[in-house]
Amino acid sequence: MSENKLNSKVPEGPLSDKWTNHKNHIRLVNPANKRQLEIIVVGTGLAGASAAASLAEMGYKVKTFCFQDSPRRAHSIAAQGGINAAKNYQNDGDSTYRLFYDTIKGGDYRSREANTYRLAEVSANIIDQCVAQGVPFAREYGGLLDNRSFGGVQVSRTFYAKGQTGQQLLLGAYSALNRQISKGNVTSYTRHEMLDLVLIEGKARGIIARNLITGEIERHAAHAVVLCTGGYGNVFFLSTNAMGSNVTAAWKAHKKGAFMANPCYTQIHPTCIPVSGHYQSKLTLMSESLRNDGRIWVPKKKEDVEAIRNGSKKPKDIPAEDRDYYLERRYPAFGNLVPRDVASRAAKERCDAGFGVNKTGEAVFLDFASSFERYGEIEAHVQGKHNATKEEIIALGKKVVEKKYGNLFQMYEKITAENPYETPMKIYPAVHYTMGGLWVDYNLMSTVPGLYVCGEANFSDHGANRLGASALMQGLADGYFVLPYTIGDYLADDIRTGKISTDLPEFKEAEEKVKETISKLFSIKGSESVDSFHKRLGKIMWDKCGMARNAQGLQEAIGEIRTLREEFWKNVRITGEPNELNNELEKAMRVADFLELGELMCVDALNRNESCGGHFREEYQTQDGEAKRDDGNFAHVAAWEFVGDPGKALLHKEELKFENIKLVQRSYK
Amino acid sequence: MKLTLKIWRQKNKNAHGEMKTYQVDHISDDMSFLEMIDVLNEELVEKNDDPVAFDHDCREGICGMCSMVINGQPHGPGKGITTCQLHMREFNDGDTIYIEPFRADAFPIIKDLVVDRSAFDRIQQAGGFISVNTSGNTIDANAIPVPKENADTAFDSATCIGCGACVAACKNSSAILFVSAKVSQFALLPQGELERKERALKMVEQMDKEGFGSCTNIGDCAAECPKEISLENIARLNREYISATIKSK
């Protein structure tokens, strides 16, 4: 263990001045020199598209890479609920400090103060920027922007575009990117997957990528490489991530020297549609915004649970006094709007106790009946219908709810064939986001010089648990407003370097290694499909490194993953050829990396002998089942260095200093 | 349920393609259509056959990647859904299902059901943006109020996921619904006002260059659109385009 390898480079001075002072003192690159400097951006989601567009506007020559057929399809597009910003348009007491405080507290005091403050500081500007780009946010009748509330906070600071905020923000960033592509400042490589990072004299100078259509292995050089490749939730096989979301780019960088920080911090989102069968390929999220208006409950009596499971009773047959609104009961101050980790664990607790409301016993109700009535009464009043019957009121209320969440209700009905206007939704937690990621300093640079990491792929802002509507904020903050400044400080040293040649031996060597791995995979000719291995890995991870973990389970998981990895390399079957579009090969390359990452996640979870945020170790809980932190021993970032075997990674610690916030036991009661 | 699948197989863009027949069994009502294809592919891998290549990613109807023509309809039966949102409960035991790629000259086939839709990116690059830098040095977001009605209509146009079902549905392979949705979004917002004429001209010009056909007002595009983008967008594009051509002369 050593501490000297990590320098967070947090600027001196008071918290609120750090970013401004830093910007004023870092080096700049003049416009003529920028034209000589090339930057590779991998991933074109919110972080990648915004970074690439901004860097190109500044004058750098940019290349973007994505595995999808268009930059617009990156998984940021699926974010539903909204984006936070400390605008205080609602005059409800919001401020930069409050957004910063909520984020640190929500993250269970495991994030770096300076980064989180900067995020809150630039948040308001993101909204200005997006409106200027033509992002159609929801508006009130007066023409001004509307807001809503999200879990873990007591103000309304979330901007949204119905249930499709991620899509609209990504299309905004994509349009900025397109503008630069049309000017020739960005070259976009679609259907390309990064398979290795190339280092020259210890600096990140390029990547090896596979053209997914032709199978060709290509070399691409640059003066700096930016990874915006998202999270690794698909290590669990079932998650709300897109099918193609993967850890490969980040993992290859890890193996080349970038430390992986807090890999065990996984966010399990409380409101997803429950698993319906073994063939299930992914899980669908129901936006957290629904918790604004939905109440979560299970029956109080076991016989009612049985009756619902066998269909002899319907949810509405259970009278109010026999329902357990367990979040309202346990957390009266925040109720149904507790943070995600708390809500997920509470659902698990009820289901483990035998109160789950579907056949598998893994579902709770999300019920809108009270909102139909509440909104209906207001609407009846507005329309002057003072003698409206209860039915009329409920019908009016349903219309109000439809306006707010219509597309989400429709999506739910399409998947489950149940109408949520008539019967409560059934939901259960699912893997959604990973707070862990590649370690970065204040400048978003990893431990590899010249390798920057933005968005979900880095570890920096959310601690051990991310608040709702903060992922979009972070992706765009990193890409639009942070990286474009900080990267110049590094590139100022490169103005005389000249073009980086792809003929250098390091490129040749990396390319050959990638080719070797591919031939090795084809040569195995085993009998088990890639998906089958992936599902087996996912089950180990979910059972033993999921919502609740314990030392024994984690130790078992490490052994099981190592065995599974060996089996994979002996018995995986890849059909088809390497030099063509080959989905099986693509999946195999990704699963091979998940099989290594999974082990490191367990090692990290086993090492962190405390509970915090999304990391819940059963051995460390309070009497009433809340997460019990150990600030004396674990108020640090665990950054792992790869030394040849994921299980033997070296631990480096970055101590977290809290100078502006007092560490307290997080309470939402 | 037990199904017969007739699927378009084509090794690469230059190869000859044909419909091939497959049987699948034990398909449950709750499966999505793509999960049914997963089951088929798992069986093909087991037999050491090449699995069916198809585009898909988010599997929740928003990324626009999935693209199959099912029984003659882009994204299959059901209104307002993508292929990944289609569930097997829409089919009956014993059915025969025909599965083909989105077909259009401007969407060349890459393999099996995977087509190249990069023409859509190039149309957007031609003018599908507002020319503001991303520096954040702009006016406060609430400085220009936007009437709620305009904001909502702009949003409806902006929900286009760029999947290309409109092109696949159109007998002329026209991309006009796609182009009109983007032009409309910006034309309806004050921020897009300055460049609206140039934008309409450039995007239409690029659309023609890519080899998409002309619009003959059939309306299949809107009928098959998974996001139910309305034909009003096309009317709006026509107005924008005509007024732009008059002004630019």
Confirm whether A4 is domain-assigned. no
DSSP state letter for A354: I
**Orientation angle between helical segments A165-182 and B148-158, nearest 10 degrees:** 70
Q: Which amino acid is at B93?
A: D
Active site residues of A: 340
Total Cβ atoms within 10 A of residue B204 = 24
Between residues 168 and 187 of chain B, which touch chain A (CB distance below 8 Å)? 185-186
pLDDT band for A284, please (50, 70, 90 cuts).
Answer: very high
Cα B190 to chain centroid distance, Å, stands at: 27
Chain A residues within an 8 Å CB radius of B49: 575
| CB distance A467 to A150 below 8 Å | yes
In the prediction, which pLDDT does B136 show?
82
Instruction: Work out how many CB contacts closer than 8 A connect A with B.
Output: 216
Q: Which of B38, B51, B89 sits opposite A584 (nearest CB)?
A: B51
Tally of CB atoms within 10 A around A422: 12
Question: A611: burial class by Cβ within 10 Å (0-12, 13-18, 19+)?
Answer: buried
CB contact under 8 A, B141 and A145: yes
Beta-carbon separation of A133 and B132 below 8 A: yes
Whether residue A524 sits in one domain with residue A486: no
Q: What is the pLDDT of residues A338-360, one digit of tens each?
A: 989 999 999 999 999 999 999 99
Residue A184 covered by a domain: yes
Distance CA A7, CA A443 (A): 11
Residue where one domain finishes, among candidates A455, A472, A494: A494
Indicate if A415 and A447 belong to the same structural domain: no
- Which of A54, A134, A411 has the CB atom closest to B186's CB atom? A134
The B residues from 78 to 97 touching A (CB cutoff 8 Å) are 78, 80-81, 85, 87, 89
Q: What was the pLDDT predicted at A3? A: 47
Task: Flag whether residue B193 sits within 8 Å of chain A, measured between CB atoms.
Answer: no
How far is residue A306's CA from residue A310's CA, in Å, rounded to a whole number?
6
Are A573 and B142 a contacting pair at CB < 8 A?
A: no
If asked whether residues A36 and A158 sit together in one domain, one would say yes
From A460, A494, A528, the end of a domain falls on: A494
Considering the domain boundaries, does residue A664 fall inside one? Answer: no
For A159, the token pair is 């901007």
The reply to whether A259 and A308 lie within a common domain is no
Q: Which residues of B touch A179 (CB under 8 A)?
A: 125, 129, 131
Asked, for residue A5, whether it belongs to a domain, the answer is no
| Domain over B118-248 is classified CATH 3.40.50.880 | no
Q: What CATH topology corresponds to B3-111?
A: Ubiquitin-like (UB roll) (3.10.20)
Pairing of β B68-70 and β B73-74: antiparallel
Give residue-wise pLDDT tens across range A464-484.
999 999 999 999 999 999 999
**C-alpha–C-alpha distance, residues B33 and B1, integer Å:** 13
CATH label of the domain that carries residue A630? 1.20.58.100
Closest CA to A552 of A542, A560, A544: A544
**Which tokens go with A307?**
């009756």
- Asked whether residue A133 falls in the same domain as residue A177, the answer is yes
Residues of chain B under the 50 pLDDT cut: none
Measure in Å the smallest separation between the Cα of A620 and chain B Cα atoms. 36
For the complex shown, is ipTM > 0.95? yes
Q: Does residue A575 contact residue B42 with C-beta atoms inside 8 Å? A: no
Q: In terms of domains, do A487 and A381 share one?
A: no
Q: Give residue limits of the domains in chain B.
A: 3-111, 118-248
pLDDT tens readout for residues A114-166: 999 999 999 999 999 999 999 999 999 999 999 988 877 889 999 999 889 99
Contacts of B81 in chain A (CB under 8 A): 414
Number of domains in chain A: 3
| Model pLDDT for residues A493-509, shown as the tens digit of each residue | 999 999 999 999 999 99
Interfacial B residues in 97-116 facing A (CB < 8 Å): 110-111, 114, 116
The per-residue pLDDT for A106 is: 93
Instruction: Give residue B248's pLDDT.
Output: 58
Same domain, A339 and A255: no
- Which residues, 6 or more positions from A20, have their beta carbon under 8 angstroms from its beta carbon? none
The residue segments making up the domain with residue A194 are: 15-265+435-494
Query: Where does A52-191 show beta strands of DSSP type E?
Result: 61-65, 83-84, 158-159, 186-189
Residues A25 and A71 in one domain: yes
For residues A490 and A287, give the distance between their C-alpha atoms in angstroms, rounded to a whole number: 39
Q: What is the CATH number of the domain that holds A450?
A: 3.50.50.60
Given a cut of 90, whether residue A101 has pLDDT beyond it is yes
List of residues 6+ apart from A201 with CB closer than 8 A: none
Q: What percent of chain A is modeled with pLDDT above 70?
A: 99
Distance of CA B115 to the CA centre of its chain: 12
pLDDT of residue A2: 46
A 491-530: CB under 8 A from B: 529
Residue A1 has pLDDT above 50, yes or no: no
- State the average pLDDT for chain A: 96
Q: Give exposure, B223-240, as e/b (b: 16+ Cβ within 10 Å).
A: ebbbbebbbebbebbeeb
For A645-661, the pLDDT digits (tens) are: 999 999 999 999 999 99
> Which residues are CB-contacts of A517 (< 8 A; sequence separation ≥ 6)?
A195, A589, A592
Query: Could you report the per-residue pLDDT of A163-190, keeping only the tens digit for each?
Result: 899 999 999 999 999 999 999 999 999 9
Which chain A residue has the Cα nearest residue B162?
Answer: A72
Residue A99 to residue A117: CA distance in whole angstroms: 8
Is residue A79 situated within a structural domain? yes
Q: What is the mean pLDDT of residues A22-47?
A: 96
Indicate whether A316 and A214 sit together in one domain.
no
pLDDT at position A86 over 50? yes
Task: For residues A250 and A276, state if they share a domain.
Answer: no
